[in-house]
Structure 1
């Protein structure tokens, strides 16, 4: 449906452009208030059409991401297998229209763990969107919102609480438990995309 709608909107948009700007008059005529109103109306309709086209493009890109990753809880997740530092990983997710994944409950955490295990077999750890960079011990997501769900690895007494280890990774090897790590470490990561 979205694939069909995009060409229709483009044709309508270009038709309106053609009507508005073709056959210019050789002499300037006085524009009546009625004509000016009609031109403004056409311009606003064209602007709305372009907004709809851009929204359709965004939705199509999101569907492509969802097809490559998994879709759950009104979100799509996609593992990225090229290891990067925490900040580079988050910037890459943002550039693709998402953020580093932040599990909000145990069900999301387990789904991320299972997905990461399937999609990047042999990989042990993935960056997620949780850190205490600004204030030690105060964990926030990538949008600086407080995190209320944690899945720390208690057997290793995580988080260790050192200032050096401020970024959080999800360990597939430890059944989805979290640990804090030096942000400059290279790890694979999971991006999250909210479905509108």
Structure 2
């Protein structure tokens, strides 16, 4: 399952691991534009780190959340069919 970022601490950790590319994390607003949920757990996204002027839903097709390598590795929305790297959750109980 894609990562669910629930705090600035988690987000800051992920920012240290990404570079030179965009990475999908698990947020989506595909069911209700502008209302972001975590796709796996179906819980509300309560922490955000949007790039300035994001999310935009450019062209009406940006419904998935990515960490962008530009602009301090903040978040933006993008077309879910875009090919990106991704960050998965790691279970503590493995």
Normalised to the residue count of structure 2, the TM-score between the two structures is 0.88
2:72 aligned residue:
175
- In structure 2, the gaps of 5 or more residues are none
Which ranges in structure 1 are unaligned for 5 or more consecutive residues? Answer: 1-98, 118-122
Q: 1:186: how far off?
A: 0.4
1:126 and 2:23 aligned = yes
C-alpha displacement at 1:170, in angstroms?
Answer: 0.2
What is the CA distance between 1:138 and its match in structure 2? 0.7
CA shift, 1:101, in A, is 0.8
Greater helix proportion: 1
**SS at the partner of 1:136?**
coil
Could you list the structure 1 runs, at least 4 aligned residues long, displaced by more than 3 angstroms after superposition.
none
Using CA pairs under 8 Å that are at least 6 residues apart, name the structure with larger relative contact order, 1 or 2. 2
**Aligned residue number for residue 186 of structure 1:** 83
Alignment of 1:1-196 (within 5 A): 99-117=1-19, 123-142=20-39, 143-154=41-52, 157-162=53-58, 163-196=60-93
Whole-Å Cα distance in 1 between the matches of residues 15 and 81 of structure 2? 22
Query: SS at the partner of 1:109?
Result: helix
Shift of 1:175: 1.5
Q: Name the SS of the counterpart of 1:193 in structure 2.
A: coil
| Cα offset, 1:172, TM superposition | 2.4
